[in-house]
Amino acid sequence: MSLTREKILNGWIEALVARSGEGNALGDAERRRSIEATLRDCDPGRDLWLFGYGSLIWNPCIEFAERRPVRVRGWHRNFCLWTHGGRGTQERPGLVLGLEQGGSCRGLAFRIEAAKLEVELDIVWRREMVTAAYRPTWVALSDGVNRFRGITFTINRAHERYTGKIDEARVIETLALAEGDIGSSRDYLFSTVDHLRVLGMDDSRLGRLADAVRDYRRALLAEGRPGKGDEEAAAALVAASAGS
């Protein structure tokens, strides 16, 4: 089930959070205060850039005037946030990406027109800041020629769903098996890898992780231990093997 603009505006994410026990969703007043605090140093009447490094790349759900491939230095994407509803369950939590300090990260910058900021940022905050697992952060963006500022969402290390350091073997197993109301953790990974590749921004670490997740699922199928959704997965893996 894909996330849509309409679902976000209709409170679907807040309801999902309530069902999954992921924590208390920010109320309307808290959300407005967070947006206002983030925009405090912005010049009123100016367009704003939003940096996407995960699902925002391939499913932004916002209206934007322009998008550009960019790089952010000082931050790297990492599977560091547990999800118990969107891409996992309480019994088998999934993982989604966050930005952690160090290194660099390539993604897409979306320019939101000033006249649409109130509506579009409300959508972004309802999506990314539903439980304050991220921190809205101003970062320097570069498209190779120009440098400009934009907002992105970095991981909140104080949040209960922050993973801390976890073994790669556990990351692979989690991504391979976890599924929730929005979809599976593996499809989140595969979509991010595929769209980065199409944009000419390959992330080698995510690419290796995607290969490892596919290998893990092939091994499960070979052992006759398919999990949820593996009937479709088996057919896809057979087709992929035949074409390789």
> Which among 128, 173, 179, 231 is annotated as catalytic?
128
CB distance 65 to 113 below 8 Å = yes
Secondary structure (3-state) at 54: coil
Cβ atoms within 10 A of the Cβ of 24, count? 12
CB distance 143 to 109 below 8 Å = yes
**Could you give the angle at which helices 204-222 and 230-242 cross, rounded to 10 degrees?**
110
CA angle 145, 150, 153 (to 5 degrees): 130
Q: Which residues are within 8 A (CB) of 108 and not within 5 positions of it... i.e. 6 or more apart? A: 51, 52, 56, 57, 67, 68, 69, 70, 199
Residue 128 known to be catalytic: yes
**Residue 122 bridge partners (DSSP):** none
CB distance 96 to 81 below 8 Å = yes
**Residue 148 bridge partners (DSSP):** 141
Give me the phi and psi of 92, to 5 degrees please: -135, 85
If you search the block for the tokens 């109301």, which residue do you land on?
181
CB distance 72 to 154 below 8 Å = no
Catalytic residues: 128
